[in-house]
Amino acid sequence: MSFEMFVPGKAFFGIGSVSKVGNLMGDGMKKAIIVTDKNLAKHGTAKKVEQILTARGVDTVIFDSVEPEPSVETTDEAASLAKKFGAQAVVGLGGGSCLDVAKAVSILLTNEGSAANYQGLGLVKKPGVLKVMIPTTAGTGSEVTFTAVLIRKSDGFKGGINDEKLFADYAILDPELTVTAPPKVTASSGMDALIHALEAYTSRYATWFSDMFAEEALRRIGKWIRVATWNGRNLEARSQMQYAAYMAGLALVHAGVGACHSLSYPLGGMFGVGHGVANALLIPHVVRANALCCPERYTDVLRWLGYIDEEANINPRDGALLCAEALEELLEDLELPTTLESLGVGITEKHFPEMAEKALAVSRPMENNPRVFDKDLCIKIYEEAMK
């Protein structure tokens, strides 16, 4: 086994650590754009960050139009504002959608054209401007990944800008900023982190290094996701989930994610289903499909999520299939949707062939997956998830 080991950027963790954002602006930096959404602007979180930067002598402009499923068009709009303002730094503030757009804006300030030009792998020519990511949810790990996932409104295609130039220079992990996230957001983003760790651990490209982060994330999420969801004021739970999401992001960076992510993309691109909700709904079915490819690994996941004792002796096949059942139970505990039909967005079986083709086009996660997926298997997964 041979592999690379690195931790991108520098991260600050702790209650109140958002106060450090001003000190991260380099000498001579006088203008920054804050990329966020209307909810964080409305509740004053964006204003708080703006005040910290202003006190440091940095002028700011706030772009607060990021959607839950961000688009190429919105990203281009944010980049246009940043260029007109003369931004020398980009601060991403919010969930994964805001952070993804912020990272894309950074490279669009130094590279010509639309964000659509860079959807793919390694297409960005020049490094972007300074990027500081401040997550307000515990889930996507976008603050530590090199991906910005965007939807093209023109054709509903959902795909990532994947390039090491998108790594954030700094990440600020302040659990206090996640306290106001409502239960559904906490649950769906927490499941996103869980699935990052699970799919990284069962990836064909998993390494000892990525396994270390995946295990750490899964143990913490298994213990704390329910508490954080239903007792959002519990700062211990919020802190544990914020740290776990970062660990899961590091596992993802080194090992990638799998078929669940590819299968979830059409749900977002075609029907506007949130990324965390889509992944959570599909993951039990993907685990069943993959179970016999690496049963020992899925049994490890079952153990780390707290469903069996550390020393329990269990047949790996049984453990892998129980892992899928445990994930279904977790979705019920978190009151997240468990069927495509329950989403209420108009998905029918006639959509499955197109969804399968779009899922297979998201080729990188499919290549990571322990089992080879074809169109028929993709359709089978959607059929199982329907009702």
In tens, the pLDDT along 101-130 reads 999 999 999 999 999 999 999 999 999 999
- Three-state secondary structure call for residue 158: strand
Provide φ and ψ at 130, rounded to 5°: -55, 135
311 in any annotated domain? yes
Among the listed residues 382, 226, 363, 202, the one whose alpha carbon sits nearest the alpha carbon of residue 296: 202
- Three-state secondary structure call for residue 35: strand
Tell me the HSE value of 365 on the side-chain side, using a 13 A CA sphere.
26
3 in any annotated domain? no
Is the pLDDT at 368 greater than 90? The verdict is yes
Average pLDDT over residues 123-140: 96
Which residue matches tokens 């792998």?
121
Is the pLDDT at 159 greater than 90? The verdict is no
Is the pLDDT at 382 greater than 90? The verdict is yes
In this structure, are 240 and 173 located in the same domain? no
8-state DSSP, 26 = P
pLDDT grade for 311, boundaries at 50, 70 and 90 = confident
Q: What is the CATH number of the domain that holds 88?
A: 3.40.50.1970
Among the listed residues 184, 189, 60, 73, the one whose alpha carbon sits nearest the alpha carbon of residue 136: 189
Is the pLDDT at 15 greater than 90? The verdict is yes
- Residue 289, both tokens: 């499909």
Is the pLDDT at 155 greater than 90? The verdict is no
Is the pLDDT at 242 greater than 90? The verdict is yes
Pairing of β 158-162 and β 147-151: antiparallel
The CA distance from 223 to 238, in Å, is 12
pLDDT at 340: 96
The CA distance from 30 to 32, in Å, is 7
pLDDT (tens digit, 9 = 90+) per residue, 37-47? 999 999 899 99
Please give the tally of structural domains in the chain. 2
Last residue of a domain, one of 138, 160, 178: 178
In this structure, are 155 and 190 located in the same domain? no
pLDDT (tens digit, 9 = 90+) per residue, 162-210? 999 999 999 999 999 999 999 999 999 999 999 999 999 999 999 999 9
In this structure, are 379 and 366 located in the same domain? yes
pLDDT at 271: 93
The CA distance from 22 to 30, in Å, is 11
5 in any annotated domain? no
Residues 187 and 229 sit within 8 Å (Cβ to Cβ): yes
Burial, 1: exposed, middle or buried (Cβ in 10 Å; 0-12, 13-18, 19+)? Answer: exposed
In this structure, are 174 and 201 located in the same domain? no
148 in any annotated domain? yes
The CA distance from 123 to 164, in Å, is 10
Helices 235-255 & 208-230 angle (0-180, nearest 10): 150
pLDDT grade for 27, boundaries at 50, 70 and 90 = confident
pLDDT at 206: 98
Average pLDDT over residues 37-64: 95
285 in any annotated domain? yes
Is the pLDDT at 157 greater than 90? The verdict is no
CA 62 from chain centre, in angstroms, equals 23
The CA distance from 136 to 145, in Å, is 16
Last residue of a domain, one of 123, 153, 178: 178
In this structure, are 210 and 255 located in the same domain? yes
4 in any annotated domain? no
2 in any annotated domain? no
Pairing of β 120-121 and β 130-135: unpaired
pLDDT at 26: 81
Provide φ and ψ at 227, rounded to 5°: -65, -45
Q: What is the CATH number of the domain that holds 334?
A: 1.20.1090.10
In this structure, are 43 and 172 located in the same domain? yes
Q: What's the longest Cα–Cα distance across the chain?
A: 63
Helix (H) / strand (E) containing 37: none
- Three-state secondary structure call for residue 72: helix
pLDDT at 310: 87
The CA distance from 260 to 176, in Å, is 30
CA 336 from chain centre, in angstroms, equals 17
In this structure, are 145 and 269 located in the same domain? no
Share of the chain above pLDDT 90, in %: 92
- Three-state secondary structure call for residue 130: strand
Average pLDDT over residues 68-83: 95
Bridge partners, residue 131, by sequence: 90
The CA distance from 127 to 108, in Å, is 9
The CA distance from 108 to 65, in Å, is 17
pLDDT grade for 1, boundaries at 50, 70 and 90 = confident
Last residue of a domain, one of 154, 178, 202: 178
The CA distance from 37 to 95, in Å, is 9
Candidate from 35-39, 267-271, 309-313, 336-340 with smallest mean pLDDT: 309-313
pLDDT grade for 69, boundaries at 50, 70 and 90 = confident
CB atoms inside a 10 Å sphere around CB 241:
31
Average pLDDT over residues 365-372: 97
In this structure, are 147 and 170 located in the same domain? yes
Cα angle for residues 335, 339, 340 (degrees, 5° grid): 125
271 in any annotated domain? yes
Cα distances (angstroms) measured from residue 247 to each of 219, 333, 369: 11, 23, 20
In this structure, are 146 and 255 located in the same domain? no
Average pLDDT over residues 39-57: 95
In this structure, are 173 and 212 located in the same domain? no
In this structure, are 71 and 202 located in the same domain? no
**Could you list the residue range(s) of the whole structural domain that residue 311 is in?**
183-385
The answer to pTM > 0.85 is yes
In this structure, are 167 and 192 located in the same domain? no
The CA distance from 317 to 322, in Å, is 9
